[in-house]
Amino acid sequence: MTRSSNDTPARDLAAYLQRYPQEVAFGEADPADVFDRYHTPDFVLTSDGLPLDRERLLAHVRSGRKRAAEVSVSVRDALVAGDRVAAHYVLTAVMRKGQVISTEVFMFGTLGADGRLQSAVQVTRPVQHEIS
């Protein structure tokens, strides 16, 4: 799949937040290709103080592909201002063994010149599963 300027986080951050987890966890494309479509090569996510580079994030994705049955994202707020982004959302994963895990995320990031995410810092907290 060829990346277009229409599917970058810069163009529609809320759509990226909803689309990316689905594509990377359940899509037919290789997770590395999906990752590269939305993130610059030097992307680093710092989550709750822990820096995760591309390789560590892809390892997490591969593990999640084996354990998760479905994932959904409820975007509360999403903002793009120049090369900065901010979002508040709840990611809910239904695991193959039936457990439901909902995580509230507050994310701030920087975009690369091509509109892909270059870095992100997020804080998370577990929340009770919400039915939207």
**The two structure tokens encoding residue 83:** 């090369």
Separation between Cα atoms, residue 117 and residue 36, nearest integer Å: 10
Angle at 13 between CA 111 and CA 131, to 5 degrees: 140
Separation between Cα atoms, residue 17 and residue 11, nearest integer Å: 12
* pLDDT score of 4: 46
132 part of a folded domain: no
Looking up residue 9, the CATH number of its domain turns out to be 3.10.450.50
Q: How many domains does the chain have?
A: 1
User: Kind and range of the H or E element at 32?
Assistant: helix 31-38
* pLDDT score of 129: 67
Separation between Cα atoms, residue 17 and residue 73, nearest integer Å: 7
41 part of a folded domain: yes
Residue stretches of the chain with pLDDT short of 70: 1-6, 129-132
**The two structure tokens encoding residue 64:** 């999640």
Cβ atoms of 116 and 8 within 8 Å: the answer is yes
* pLDDT score of 6: 62
Q: Which domain holds residue 108?
A: 5-126
